[in-house]
Amino acid sequence: MHVNTANQYLKAIYLVQQQEDGPASTGDVADMLEVSPASANEMIGKLEDQGLLDHEKYKGVNLTDEGIHRAREALQNYCIIERFLAEVLEVEEFRSEAKQLEGVIDETVAERLDTIIDREPQCPDCFDAEDDVCALLELEAEASD
Amino acid sequence: MVAVSLHRPVGSDHQLARLLQIGVVLEEVVEARAEKHAQMTDELDPAVSELLEHASAESADHRRELEALIATLEAETVPFDEIKRLVEAQYEADEEFDGILYDQLCNEETAYKFYDDLIGAIEASETEFSIDRERLLSTLERIREEEAEGAEDVTQLMESRE
């Protein structure tokens, strides 16, 4: 059951590209996912075959429009899980738990969970690439402390 | 930089309990929405009405079965009243019959997908849960089967109305 691995890569590449404001190097993507550069390279090749990114040797990878769309969906999915854990299940460690769960909760399930939470319209642009979390939820968490 | 986690098998009692809690909430959402639809529409087709009642009752059963599993793991669930309130607060009205059936189909399909992924993640895991693995999997597999049957029932009803 590794269907969501591709989404995790797309999400990581999207965030690295945002930080770099340009192509993402395979090394940075591998670092972010804590995988070996060889595994990252292999997966990037697969994603390129699916038309989700363009890989230019020595420069790095750029997501295609379809790749960006998928990456943003994965980010939104994560934001829904984070917010659901915080608002509905009142989980204190909602962030670390969301990271554990995002691979098991797919988009269709997240959409249903989304029907009972109060999510911000700017999502998934609320995502803080540096910390790999939803920035809006952080502000609210601090405000309620 | 914090690493983005990759897809992983269910690794602990805690994580399993959390996933089962999510299952309970999904069932509660189905139950609350089916109840809401049944109340909102005055002249509901008897076949649709019967389907909603069945869906609502079945979700309540599933919820109790999941709660029994969660109890073994010593975790708590969100009370149904609380979820009903949330569904109510965020509810977008759709009184069209097709809308109601479509919503119901989404419910069943989403639940099926959830249990299917959960079963896969448990099977991929080597963790010894404090709950009997066989009981856990057989319960989830039966619920998954009932969700598949539910989706089939809605599809048939939708087709018969075309």
* Contact call for A101 and B19, based on CB within 8 A: yes
| A6 in contact with chain B, both atoms CB, cutoff 8 A | no
- Domain spans in chain B, listed from the N-terminal domain onward: 13-161
Structure tokens at B108: 């069943």
The CATH number of whichever domain residue A31 belongs to comes to 1.10.10.10
Q: What is the pLDDT of residues A15-36, one digit of tens each?
A: 999 989 999 999 999 998 889 9
To the nearest whole angstrom, how far is the Cα of A18 from the nearest Cα of chain B?
Answer: 14
CATH 3.10.129.10 matches B13-161: no
Indicate if A79 and A62 belong to the same structural domain. Answer: no
pLDDT digits (tens, 9 = 90+) for A43-82: 999 999 999 999 998 889 999 999 999 999 989 998 899 9
Structure tokens at A139: 């502000």
Cβ neighbours for A120, distance < 8 A, ≥ 6 positions apart: A126, A136
pTM: 0.81
State whether residue A139 sits within 8 Å of chain B by CB. no
Q: How many beta carbons lie within 10 A of that of residue A70, not counting itself?
A: 23
Could you report the predicted ipTM of this complex, rounded to two decimals?
A: 0.81
Q: Using the predicted structure, report yes or no on whether residue B6 has a pLDDT greater than 50.
A: no
Question: Are residues A84 and A135 located together in one domain of the fold?
Answer: yes
Q: Do A96 and A135 lie in a common domain?
A: yes
pLDDT of residue B97: 60
Q: Check CB contact of A112 with chain B, cutoff 8 Å.
A: yes
User: Within a 10 A sphere around the Cβ of B47, how many other Cβ atoms?
Assistant: 13
Q: Considering A49, A68, A87, which residue would you say is the last residue of a domain?
A: A68
